[in-house]
Structure 1
Amino acid sequence: MNVNDARIGFIGFGNMASAMADGWIASGAVPAGNMCACAGRYEALVPRCEQRGMKACETSRQVVETSDVVVIAVKPYMIESVLAPLTDALEGKAILSVAAGWKCADYEHVIPGAHHLSTVPNTPVAINEGVIACERASTLAEAEHELVFDLLKLLGSPVEVETHLLSVAGTVGGCSPAFIAMVIESLADAAVKHGIPRAVAYEMVSQMVAGTAKLQLATGMHPGAMKDAVCSPGGTTIKGVAELEAAGMRSAFIRAIDVIEG
């Protein structure tokens, strides 16, 4: 089966699930009509599905029965109560979990024998620029694994990690968009302070962030080398770098990840 033919169903259709659906639709490879979803409030779900060209389902069993790939996107505390009654229907389905904290061994306790993969995507999947942390341990069959990863590649970059690293990989990929948004906002505020209109400031700073990231990915340069390339001796940039170091910028980012990981 290829991505164009795959039928994808979402159990839960919150921010992350809808971002994934938007990314697949934007890719042009997954027809919106091949996707369906269910959620706690059906009346609120219907317009969200209809505006995308997707089908709204009243029950999770409907989603499972009409899908090849089932995306589990409910709150982690709900997973057991939602999936346990669906054990029979999930047979032969590829299950893609985006529920934080749920790993392969956890699913084996709830739906033993089912075929599943645990992942932690981030919101840029909506524009096909996401990073998706994927647990290397998986019970997907070979053909299912290939299909699921082909689908994930449409959303950005799937990165496989060992089970004990899934949490931190998900934190770095999933939480950091909020941190970078704060960086964008702060630099734009500085630009506005010095006279640049806010809309222009946001455009400049966001493009700078996107361009810097693409440059690193394209060249593989060490971020420190990229920084050094901009810092002329006695120049303006090194003065700004020194001020950021004095303010503890690096350690603040590291502490942010540390506090999330506990």
Structure 2
Amino acid sequence: MDTRNVSIGLIGFGNMASAMADGWIASGAVAAGNLRACAGRFEALMPRCEARGMVALPDAAEVVAASDVVVVAVKPYMIEGVLVPVREQLAGKAILSVAAGWNCEAYERVIPGTNHLSTVPNTPVAINEGVIACEKASTLDSEQRDLVFSLLKLLGSPIEVESRLLSVAGTVGGCSPAFIAMVIEALGDAAVKHGIPRATAYQMVSQMVAGTAKLQLATGAHPGAMKDAVCSPGGTTIRGVAELEAAGMRSAFIRAIDAIEG
């Protein structure tokens, strides 16, 4: 099925679901009119959908009935209550979960016999630059799998991991944008401290982060080698690196992931 003809339904329309919708629409490969969503507060949902050219529907049953691919984007504790009543309607649909903590085994307990894939995306999917951790185990058939991965590739880079690694992969991909935003803010503050206007500081730092990441992806270079390439003997950069090491920067990032996975 061509992505422009596929009907996508989002059960829940919070930050992640709306980011995915924005990414699909921005890609030009998914028609906004083929996206529909339901949420707890229909009156708040309607203007958000209308602004995107999407269709707002009052409940999950109508979303499922009108969709080829069903994106489950409600809070994890709500999944069973939302999906069990529409279990029969879900038969034959491709179910794409973006709920943290819900893997293939968990879905098989609640809606056995359905076709589902568990993923954990991050918010840069909104600009087609996301990373989407995907569980290798799924119950999608081959045709559904091809379709779903075609849709995910429009949002960024889907990366498959074993079931036991889905949680930490989702944490690294899904939570780290907050950490990197803090890095951008901190370096921006440093630039402002030394006289650069804030808007210019953020533009410089964000482009530096984007460029460095793209360089690593393009070359496959080890991050340590990229760091060494900028550190001349006795130079300015190595002095800054030494200060970051003294402040425990590396261990702070590792401890942040440990705290979430704890």
TM interval, short-chain normalised: over 0.9
The 5 Å alignment of 1:51-62 reads 51-62=51-62
C-alpha RMSD over aligned residues? 0.3
* Equivalent position amino acid for 1:72 in 2: V
The letter for the 2-side match of 1:56 is: A
Moved over 3 A (4+): none
Q: What is the deviation of 1:2?
A: 1.8
2:94 and 2:242 map into 1 onto residues whose CA distance is 50
Q: Which runs of 5+ in 2 are unaligned?
A: none
- State the SS of the aligned residue for 1:154: helix
Specify the alignment match of 2:132 in structure 1. Answer: 132
1:181 CA drift (Å): 0.2
Residues 57-96 of structure 1: CA deviation (Å, up to 9, x unaligned): 0111000000000000000000001000101100110000
Structure-to-structure mapping, 1:146-185, within 5 angstroms:
146-185=146-185
Q: Are 1:11 and 2:5 matched, yes or no?
A: no
Who is 2:214 aligned against?
A: 214
What secondary structure is seen at the aligned counterpart in 1 of 2:53?
Answer: coil
CA distance in structure 2 between the aligned counterparts of 1:129 and 1:88, rounded to whole angstroms: 35
Cα separation, 1, equivalents of 2:190 and 2:58: 49
- After TM superposition, the structure 1 = structure 2 runs for residues 244-259 of structure 1, keeping only pairs within 5 Å, are 244-259=244-259
**Deviation of the 1:21 alpha carbon:** 0.1
Please list, as runs of the form range in 1=range in 2, the aligned pairs for 1:59-208 lying within 5 A after superposition: 59-208=59-208
2:224 partner letter: G
Match of 2:183, SS?
helix
Are 2:249 and 1:228 equivalent residues in the alignment?
no
1:4 offset after TM fit, Å?
1.2
Q: Which amino acid aligns with 1:19?
A: A
Cα distance between partner residues in 1 of 2:199 and 2:244: 25
Partners of 2:162 and 2:182 in 1: how far apart? 30
Partner of 1:34: 34
Q: 1:41 & 1:207 partners in 2: Cα distance?
A: 38
Amino acid at match of 1:75: K
Residue 222 of structure 1: how far off its partner (Å):
0.2
CA deviation vs aligned residue, 1:9-36 (integer Å, no higher than 9, x gap): 0000000000000000000000000000
Unaligned runs of 5+ in 1: none
Distance 2:108 2:16 in 1: 23
Scaled by the length of structure 1, the TM-score of the pair is 1.00
Q: Distance in 2 between matches of 1:182 and 1:112?
A: 41
TM-score by length of 2: 1.00
In 2, Cα distance between equivalents of 1:149 and 1:33: 21
